[in-house]
Structure 1
Amino acid sequence: MKGKKWLSLALAGMLAVSALAGCGSSSSSTGSADTASTSTGSADYDLYIFNNKGENADAMAAAAEAFGKEKGVKVKAFSLGSGVNSDDTLRTEMNSKNKPAIFSCMNAETLVEWTEGGFAMDLSKATNEEFKQLVADIPESFNLTDGTANYGIPYNVEGYGYIVDKEMLAALFGEDQVDAFLEAFKTATYDEFEQMVLTLQSYIKEGTAGSVTLSGQEFALAAEKTGKAATLEGVFSVAGSEKWTYGDHFVNIAVDAIFPDSKAAGEATLEQLQAGKGAFEAYAKALDLKTANATTPRGPELINATTNGYDPSVATFANSKAIFLKQGNWAYENIKKANADIVDTLTFLPIKMPFTQDDIKVEGLTVEHMLESIPVFVPNYYCINDKVSDEEKELAEEFLVWLNTTEAGQKFVVEEMSFIPYNADPATTSAGYSLGDSIISYMAADKTLTNAYAGAPKGWATDNFGLQMMENYVNTAEWPETAYSDIADYAISSWAEMAGLE
């Protein structure tokens, strides 16, 4: 299967929202401040937008105001604070007299509530010709679908992998070797990656100079640790107290080897899960390697929230105490807050797992593609409420066309929201910041994976499987010989049980 096919297979996934700001809400309309409406009074707006991504609350309010002024209409935009669950507030709004015409939906799993309630509009019912074209141009697997219709316009695309600071690589291998190292890493085998990790950990802990080999190329470590290398405490910074560290994005790499997208994962059979045991064992081996070579020894301290929670793990990396941090571009602002001097030299590298071709069950997918790629996916969608007036539906369609196709709208998306547009041309688009541009480079090279784990049973990745990993494996220094097989068996049996397959 061609790489371009894999870019189009990147499907919606639910993304853990980083806590970039305090809780609260933001709501505005052209000309006045406003709040979420639970009254039965008449609406004082022409278009109501309910936005569930608090990080872009101010930008959404500004975009709504700009659209309103341009079109001569009054637009109300409501957002809850960053990191706040908006589900209950949205449900209240949907049951009020003055319902939002545009609302947010994360993925196919959360879509069910809004299709069953008759709220989410089948976008094929649209009347605006430009909007119809906008919908038609969305890559098929970027669609928010129940299997029969498309219900959403993507907010943007996001991605994740191992974040690394190029200045750290310069301190380790020499400035003239950085670009060669990055390219060699991308195509390196898992065995080469594993040996590199062990060599680097020995260098950090014992000062043992040596060299690493990636894609057959040798890179010599500096004889002495100087500059940023002198502050290193481990190869990986791990948010050990966060269950999603072991579930969600890390296990998604294994799930991607079994299912082509989240829809297929959501329709998994017991036979398919059992056939994926090799992929889950590869996950376990990679998790063992990462947690055994972190800045904090594996055990109770590694899962302590004070020392190894979300923010501490970001700070550990930002302050040059670790070489790699598994995170996404959404962590950019947190890294910047911890150390603004580091952000311009950040880039993504692929998460490596020891897959064999037999482990991969997706037709056309190869070990090489998985080793060289990062997941890129849609984290959120705009839906149109089928229960508002035809006039407001038409305005909703017009707003989404304006936001996603006009120069004014795209300026808000890229510059104010710091989004990578889902319809961006990788050859000509710049995100304007290091991690965003790194994702675009993978898109341009057709080196992307999907977010298939989003199709797993609700709560499986984090609250079930992730918790199992944290409490029974990362909490202990030594793993039993059967650990890899046991972890794979648990992944399969817990998924099957939660999906009602056993």
Structure 2
Amino acid sequence: MKKKWLSLLLVGAMTAGMLAGCGSSSSSDSADSTAADGAEAATPTPDSSTDYDFYIFNGKGEIADGMQAAVDAYSAEKGVKIKLFTLGSGADSAPVLRTELNSEHMPTIFTIQDSQYLQEYLEGGFSMDLAEATNEDFKALADAVPEANILTRDGSTNYGIPYTVEGYGYIVDTKMLASLFGEENVDAWIDAYKTASYEEFVAMVDACDDFIKNGSADPVVLSGKSFDFQAKDDLSGQLEGVFAVAGAEKWTYGDHLVNIAIDAVYPTSLDAANTTAEQLEAGHKLFERYAELADVLTAHGTTARGPELIESTTGSYDMQTQNFANHKAIFVKQGNWAYNGYVSANSEIGDTLTFLPIKLGATDDEILSGLTQEQINTSIPVFVPLYWAINAKCDEEEKEKAEAFLAWLYQTDEGIDFVKNQMSMIPWNADPNEVSAGYSLGDSILSYMAEGKTITNAYAGAPAGWAQYTLGQYLMENYVNKAEWPDDAYSDIADYLISSWEEAAGL
């Protein structure tokens, strides 16, 4: 119902678009807003200025300051006036964007999350096929986007320029590993973990849990190599759980965690978007493996699984950040976008963070996507989180100026410097063997890219919002609020995952 409503809303905007332009050929100040604090605060909206050459609607709040700096530099260099609007980090920009696309002065550049959201903007007539671009530098930029990273519904037509690439996995502080297993063993431990089996991973989690609770435990065995625990010291003595878990956040159980299993079913997000009911049902065993992984994660957190874990005061994103940054947990399942939060909570942690792969207990016989067990368990997902799109309804002069800006941002040394150093993003077109992200988690992602140890983000092809608001909500309300899970929990979760996806997709 939500999807149909949004389609009607955007298609209805086509009529308004015929009567309205995107902006003005004259210029104005950039407009940059951040979300107000507090749940009751009104959502900021763009100002009504029309004195600009083109208008950018940026959907990634984390880069607001860096994007404003880039816009200001470009404007000074080219004599172009740009209106920029950005909501604060964590705010849902979609409702404001829909309003803007229905307004008299629509954005020229706007944000699209993935192929599922693209469909709505295609139906509304807003998304320009980048093959229709007129700026030669921009056309070269669009042509250089790898096929695996294009924003598409048919597998070939590209409608977006990637913002960046991001990655996620289990984040660990190497200083904590040194405290647990000895500084001289940290590199060997990490190497052994990367190639360890799922069974060794689970045994490692149990051993760490014993150590935290009892002060001693049997050695950890990874890839057949044994690692002894050291006596508790000032760092390891602060541990309260193996994982920092944001138990009150639905995305903890949906989104990136379920993606590991979805990657084992579908080669790409487009394949997931075009799934049949039969293909979904064939993945039942892999979805059971996902449920098992969710069980391991939530049963070994800094807060015991049960009602307290899903309370916002104890299981929020902020509490997860604080618990990990302040050495209450060994691992946290997160992405490089969370880096600034950890450094804000503990400035000493920034240089010693690295990613480890999320292990899935699937066998080669169970995996359907063409990946192998070894590929899944030694890799991290690296993906495009957002795309820049050009508004097809704007006039040619305005689109040309917008195209020139994006070409400058991603093809010139000055533009790329803003992307890397002021927005803290990894340019999607960077050579991982030649560049540094300038911070530990970004460089960790680049190292996996350089080694070819990456998997995709196939869950982006699931029905929009399903992973978080349907699956995540279901796990939170029926399982994570209970200390013990029944014997048939994994199978029941897999059943619900399949049936709810089928219902959301109309299969």
Q: Tell whether the structures are fold-level matches, with TM greater than 0.5.
A: yes
Structure 1 window deviating more from structure 2 (322-331 vs 332-341): it is 332-341
Q: Which has the higher contact order (CA 8 A, sep 6+)?
A: 1
Amino acid aligned to 2:75: G
Q: Is the 8 A contact 1:37 1:98 kept in 2?
A: no
Deviation per residue, 1:14-34 (Å, 9 max, x gap): xxxxxxxxxxxxxxx988454
Gaps spanning 5+ residues in structure 1: where? 1-28
State how far apart, in whole Å, the 1-side matches of 2:75 and 2:328 are. Answer: 48
1:155 match: 163
1:192 match: 200
Deviation per residue, 1:109-137 (Å, 9 max, x gap): 22122211211111011112221111111
The number of residues matched between the two structures is 469
1:413 match: 419
State how far apart, in whole Å, the 1-side matches of 2:449 and 2:27 are. Answer: 37
Q: Is the 8 A contact 2:55 2:82 kept in 1?
A: yes
Alpha-carbon deviation of 1:167? 0.2
State how far apart, in whole Å, the 2-side matches of 1:368 and 1:437 are. Answer: 23
Q: Is the 8 A contact 2:46 2:85 kept in 1?
A: no
Call closer, same or farther: CA 1:430–1:204 in 2, change over 3 Å.
Answer: same
State how far apart, in whole Å, the 2-side matches of 1:424 and 1:244 are. Answer: 29
1:500 match: 506
Alpha-carbon deviation of 1:227? 2.5
1:144 match: 151
2:446 match: 440
Q: Find out whether 1:67 has 2:74 as its counterpart.
A: yes
1:17 match: none
State how far apart, in whole Å, the 2-side matches of 1:202 and 1:422 are. Answer: 42
1:393 match: 399
Amino acid aligned to 1:134: L
CA RMSD of aligned residues (A): 1.6
1:459 match: 465
2:357 match: 350
Q: Find out whether 1:221 has 2:261 as its counterpart.
A: no
Alpha-carbon deviation of 1:210? 2.7
Q: Find out whether 1:377 has 2:383 as its counterpart.
A: yes
Choose from 256, 264, 271 the match for 1:264.
Answer: 271
- After the TM superposition, which residues 105-254 of structure 1 pair with which residues of structure 2 at under 5 Å, given as runs? 105-147=112-154, 148-222=156-230, 224-254=231-261
Helix, strand or coil at the partner of 1:357: coil
State how far apart, in whole Å, the 1-side matches of 2:246 and 2:80 are. Answer: 46
1:8 match: none
Q: Is the 8 A contact 1:30 1:68 kept in 2?
A: no
Alpha-carbon deviation of 1:295? 1.6
2:83 match: 76
1:26 match: none
Gaps spanning 5+ residues in structure 2: where? 1-25, 33-44
2:42 match: none
State how far apart, in whole Å, the 2-side matches of 1:309 and 1:97 are. Answer: 39
State how far apart, in whole Å, the 2-side matches of 1:282 and 1:418 are. Answer: 34
Alpha-carbon deviation of 1:46? 1.4
TM-score, normalised with respect to structure 2: 0.90
1:46 match: 53
Q: Is the 8 A contact 2:27 2:51 kept in 1?
A: no
1:14 match: none
Call closer, same or farther: CA 1:63–1:475 in 2, change over 3 Å.
Answer: same
2:331 match: 324
Amino acid aligned to 1:485: S
- After the TM superposition, which residues 307-318 of structure 1 pair with which residues of structure 2 at under 5 Å, given as runs? 307-318=314-325
Alpha-carbon deviation of 1:199? 0.9
Call closer, same or farther: CA 1:98–1:30 in 2, change over 3 Å.
Answer: closer
Amino acid aligned to 2:64: A
Structure 1 window deviating more from structure 2 (452-461 vs 262-271): it is 452-461
Alpha-carbon deviation of 1:392? 1.0
Structure 1 window deviating more from structure 2 (103-112 vs 408-417): it is 103-112
State how far apart, in whole Å, the 2-side matches of 1:37 and 1:306 are. Answer: 32
State how far apart, in whole Å, the 2-side matches of 1:30 and 1:442 are. Answer: 44
State how far apart, in whole Å, the 2-side matches of 1:263 and 1:390 are. Answer: 30
TM-score, normalised with respect to structure 1: 0.91
Q: Is the 8 A contact 1:426 1:444 kept in 2?
A: yes
Q: Is the 8 A contact 1:201 1:235 kept in 2?
A: yes
State how far apart, in whole Å, the 1-side matches of 2:460 and 2:92 are. Answer: 18
Q: Is the 8 A contact 2:30 2:82 kept in 1?
A: no
Deviation per residue, 1:361-380 (Å, 9 max, x gap): 012x1000000011111011
Alpha-carbon deviation of 1:96? 2.8
